[in-house]
A and B are shown apart, each in its own frame.
Chain A
Amino acid sequence: MATLAAGPGTPEHRAPAQRAVAPNRRRPPSWILLALSLGVAIILAAPLVFLLIEARDSGWSTVWQLIWRPLTWTLLWNTIRLTVVVTVLCAIVGTLAAWCVECTDLPFRRVWAVLVVIPFAIPDFVVSFGWASLSTWVQGFRGAVLVMTLAVYPLVYLPVAAAFRSADPGQEEAARSLGLGRVQTFVRVTLRQARGAILGGSILVTLIILAEYGAFEILGYQTFTTEIFTELQSSFSVATASALSLVLVGIGIIVLGGEVLVQGRGRLVRTGAFAQRATRRHALGHFRIPVLLAFAALAALALGVPVGSSIYWMFARQGGAIAGASLASAGANTAAYSASAAVLTTAMALPVALYAVRYGGRIARLLERSTYLVLAMPGVVIALALSYFVERYAGGFGYQSATLLVVAYAILFFPLALVGVRASVAYAPVSLEEAARSLGSGRVAVFRRVTLPLVGPGLAAAFCLVFLAALTELTATLLLIPTGAQTLSTQFWAYEQNLSYGQAAPFALVIIAVAAVPSYVIARYFDRLPARVARSK
């Protein structure tokens, strides 16, 4: 679940970024960067190639039959209605919360700013477990809407809060002075300023719902992703799972295509480089108490229930002692796999980000966009693809090794690393590198002594994003994990599936505790982005 739609793709950040490092077409593109980027793109394309090979092997008419069966319609309806409802709810909750925190005189603003972001650190399947283990009401469609909204709204909140913070207050003032009312100003000016951020966050919410497995399995809600896993569990056949995955990829392409269409329209204009300044906050007036209550309710629902429920089960459990040793070894495995994946993914994202930002052009844009497609692919498909290629072309070398699992994570979470790295590359002035070159430093020395320190914070953010995502990954891990090993997530899952809630709960709590640190780092990083833009000029 850990993802972020911060500024890079959004118009209000694009303008200053381009001023800082306009794509320099006079410089010949670096062939090393291009080669590295293409290499990464080829690795990322592996799952899609696998799906197409599977489809060809089983015959397109068979694939068509598998797609064209009664269940597909149920899945399509389930997937689409859930995606639409949750995305809209997240957009509303995230935007309103961000506005109240950033633009009004809400009491205890700093406290709320932290409390509304923390749910970001709680895996969706833990939120789901927290709710479903307490009440029968939370299940099926309504359960999925409730749980997913509470689990992923921070993805809209974070970028929108950043957008409000960096918005030009002059526009609102002008609108008011020209006679627009408060509500009209909010809708026609304030919301428009945050439009890109709202959209970017919503796209991520959509993609995450498409690929979510654990939460829906617990709630008994069928989507394409849960059914792809179920297919593997009931028919010995990879072909049927692949056929359904193709449909999911198709939906992903439509979502991303729609994003391009919508983002392409409209540009925001700023009145000057330093238009961002302290503003008079809107007074909440009579609404102060209701808004405070709403924030308290949000924190209680999104944070209190999952944490409280895990603590409850830990103490209310029957039989079976808590396996401290397995907790420690699962924790060590999780840390090793997640950290390795975070390093590898960040290293893969760096050349692509440098190439895309520094040289631009159609190839770079296509390269970048295509990598986002893996976000819509469930982990299990990527795991199957890697198993297939290793068995087919490498004689099974590295199969079920930690290495292959780490590579799977790297493919799965590449887009997250790219978001983090790209943002900081965009704000690192290329002129500093040129100055270093002109003073006689070699290419490698410039990269090491100038580029790396400049993009350092972005690399750290990318590391944390991937670490967080790998920490909670489930379906690819279940397939690829070395025999005999467990991660926090797989062990939680094994207990949860046996309804051993008491034994599952400590694993949930440890995951939340471990995830809290990287989420805090990420929140701080994206919090500061606009300020760093101003400083770099």
Chain B
Amino acid sequence: MRVTALVIALAAVVGVAVGCGSSGSANSLTLYSGQHVQTTADLVRAFEQATGITVNTRSANEDTLAAQISTEGSNSPADAFYTENSPALEYLQGKGLLSPVLPSTLAKVPAKYSSPHGDWVGVSARASVIIFNPSRISPSKLPTSVMQLSDPKYKDQLAVAPSETDFQPIVTSVAKTYGNTAAVSWLKGIAANAGGRVYPDNETVVNEVNRGSAALGVINQYYWYRIRDEIGASNMHAKIADFAPNDVGYVIDVSGAGALKSSSHQANAQRFLAFLVSPQAQKIIADSQSYEYPIAPGVAASPKEVPLSQLQPNSVSIADLGDGSTAVSLLRQAGLL
């Protein structure tokens, strides 16, 4: 009976798939990460070697992971959460899902980059910049302020990634400076200028500007460096430019990490946070493909980049950026979300 044999054989396959289900031994750590996949893998490998703790990494978009952690509640398999931006961590902190970070860990990085409440620690930083394609727009025609992006003269030139977690801090910054009403009409201008060039993420914005299908867009600086490495310098036609010093769009975004209150591996989670701000990990970040700025004193960024200390961002703070819910609501009113 061939069919029966087939069914039995395949049932065995099901058994195997079911068998290799959940894992979670004593000396392990489950990490939810919204950070760059390759850099996270480098950090995890170094941590495993240094401590002997086995790390299971789950990589996805950080807001998706934050929503997942909040749904999972006290059952969450996650022990630690590592993100590219502060709002996802602020959101979980607001829901009381994070444990306080050890003071010795917080002390390793400047206080302005960590949670004011001490429930998560800053790990690295990035800056917002303009990306443009010189064959589509000359550098002299570039905006100096993010507010000019809604100017009709950029119609059909702009690429935007409104759902990108890096874009929302800029929206929050604009709303805080000029008020919600002005922010919505600014966003509507951006939507009109972008037309159909509304993309799901910054990688796509870089790609489209580089290919010349859009003239300019706003990204975090590290995407340009990282993608230049991916596609080769000779294929990178796009360039980046800074906003004017202290411009409302000139924002520093902070990547951070926290330990979950529901974690059954508290000590391991705290060790991982301490590792992330250690000189060893900060050096890995500085040398990695992701081109983020390390923030622990004494560790230099990639020599290819302008040093963090020479940037002239505005004064928007981590607390101002909050959990990003205002930005999302404004983006919705403008039809970008």
Contact = CB atoms under 8 A, between A and B. Distances in A.
Contact of A233 (B63, B72, B73, B197): B63
B274 to A, nearest CB: 22
Contact of B197 (A220, A452, A483): A220
Interface string B70-110: 11110101000000000010010000000000000000000
B77 to A, nearest CB: 6
A339 B10 CA distance: 7
B3 A500 contact: no
A141 B195 CA distance: 12
Given A220-B197, A233-B61, A234-B168, A395 B75 contact: yes
B14 A340 contact: yes
Given A236-B63, A339-B10, A339-B13, A402 B18 contact: yes
Contacts of A318: 229-232
Contact of B230 (A232, A336, A499): A499
Given A222-B198, A391-B73, A483 B56 contact: yes
Given A233-B64, A343-B11, A494 B328 contact: no
B179 interface: no
A418 B56 CA distance: 37
Given A234-B168, A343-B10, A71 B37 contact: no
Which of B7, B58, B68, B72: most chain A CB closer than 10 A? Answer: B68
B21 interface: yes
A494 B36 CA distance: 10
B266 interface: no
Interface residues of B, number: 73
Nearest to A69: B332
Contacts of A58: none
Contacts of A339: 10, 13-14, 17
Contact of A71 (B1, B21, B77, B336): B336
A497 interface: yes
B3 A453 contact: yes
Nearest to A454: B3
Interface string A221-244: 010001000111111111000000
Among B13, B56, B230, the most chain A Cβ lie within 10 Å of the Cβ of B230
A12 interface: no
Nearest to B228: A318
Contacts of A344: 14
Interface in A375-417: 387-388, 391, 395-396, 398-403, 406
A406 B20 CA distance: 12
B118 interface: no
Interface in A215-272: 217, 220, 222, 226, 230-238
Contact of A234 (B20, B165, B196): B165
Contacts of B60: 478-479
A234 B63 contact: yes
A358 B16 CA distance: 35
Nearest to B211: A136
B212 A136 contact: yes
A448 B67 contact: no
Contacts of B206: 499
A220 B63 CA distance: 20
B213 interface: yes
B67 A238 contact: yes
A285 interface: no
Contacts of A448: 1, 4
A456 interface: yes
A459 interface: yes
A319 B199 CA distance: 26
Interface string A439-465: 000000000110011001001000100
B21 A483 contact: no
A139 interface: yes
B58 A483 contact: yes
A429 interface: no
Given A336-B13, A406-B14, A484 B213 contact: no
Interface in A194-222: 217, 220, 222
Contacts of A463: 10
Nearest to A319: B229
B337 interface: yes
Contacts of A483: 23, 30, 56-58, 77
A74 B91 CA distance: 29
B261 to A, nearest CB: 16
Contacts of B77: 396, 399-400, 483
A401 B18 contact: yes
Nearest to B63: A233
Given A391-B75, A483-B58, A483-B77, A234 B7 contact: no
Nearest to A335: B13
Contacts of B140: none
Nearest to B34: A233
Nearest to A140: B196
Contacts of A498: 36-38, 203, 226, 230
Interface in B30-47: 30, 36-38
Contacts of B73: 391
B208 interface: yes
A139 B232 CA distance: 23
Q: Tell which of B22, B60, B66 has the most Cβ of chain A within 10 Å.
A: B22
Contact of A74 (B61, B63, B213, B335): B335
A181 interface: no
B200 interface: yes
Contacts of A395: 75
B230 to A, nearest CB: 5
Give the interface centre of A233, A391, A494 by most chain B CB atoms within 10 Å.
A233
B213 to A, nearest CB: 5
B278 interface: no
B21 A482 contact: yes
Closest 10 CB pairs of A and B: A396-B75, A70-B335, A401-B21, A483-B58, A234-B163, A340-B14, A343-B10, A484-B56, A136-B211, A233-B61
7 contacts: A220-B199, A232-B61, A340-B18, A399-B77, A400-B58, A403-B21, A482-B21
Interface of A: 69-71, 74, 136, 139-141, 217, 220, 222, 226, 230-238, 318-320, 336-337, 339-340, 342-344, 387-388, 391, 395-396, 398-403, 406, 448-449, 452-453, 456, 459, 463, 478-479, 482-484, 494, 497-502
Given A136-B208, A234-B165, 20 more contacts: A232-B61, A236-B63, A236-B70, A236-B88, A343-B11, A344-B14, A391-B75, A395-B75, A396-B72, A402-B17, A406-B17, A452-B3, A452-B4, A482-B21, A482-B22, A483-B56, A484-B57, A498-B37, A499-B203, A499-B207
